């Protein structure tokens, strides 16, 4: 089914007002360009932590390698919350 959608400016960006039957769930979509066509695809939310980590790039092996670990703070829990 092909329909017409309106283009408009949103700040410095161009946006498309999608007809209701073309709207997506969530806040983000994947976008790609094929020739002169722009394709939007739903970006599903991870359903489990395993899904989340499968979609998240791995950290480099030197991530936080040169970070100095601080000693644990001495706290009087839960009394510190009242301060």
Q: What is the pLDDT along the chain (83 residues), one digit of tens a residue?
A: 789 999 999 999 999 999 999 999 888 999 999 999 999 999 888 788 888 888 788 888 888 888 888 898 888 777 666 65
pTM tops 0.85, yes or no = no
In 34-45, which positions are buried (b, 16+ CB within 10 angstroms) versus exposed (e)? eeeeeeeeeeee
Distance of alpha carbon 70 from alpha carbon 58, whole angstroms: 25
Question: Helix, strand or coil for residue 81?
Answer: helix
Distance of alpha carbon 64 from alpha carbon 54, whole angstroms: 21
Task: Indicate the domain borders of the chain.
Answer: 7-45
Residue 33: phi and psi, rounded to 5, are -115, 130
Q: How many CA atoms lie within 13 A of 76 on its CB side?
A: 4
């Amino acid at each position: 089914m092909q329909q017409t959608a309106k283009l408009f400016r949103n700040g410095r960006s161009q946006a498309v007002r999608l007809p209701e039957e073309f709207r997506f769930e969530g806040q983000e979509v994947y976008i790609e360009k094929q020739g002169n066509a722009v394709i939007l695809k739903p970006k599903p939310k991870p359903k489990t932590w395993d899904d989340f980590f499968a979609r998240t790039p791995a950290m480099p092996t030197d991530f936080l390698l040169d970070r100095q670990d601080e000693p644990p703070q001495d706290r009087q829990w839960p009394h510190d919350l009242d301060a």
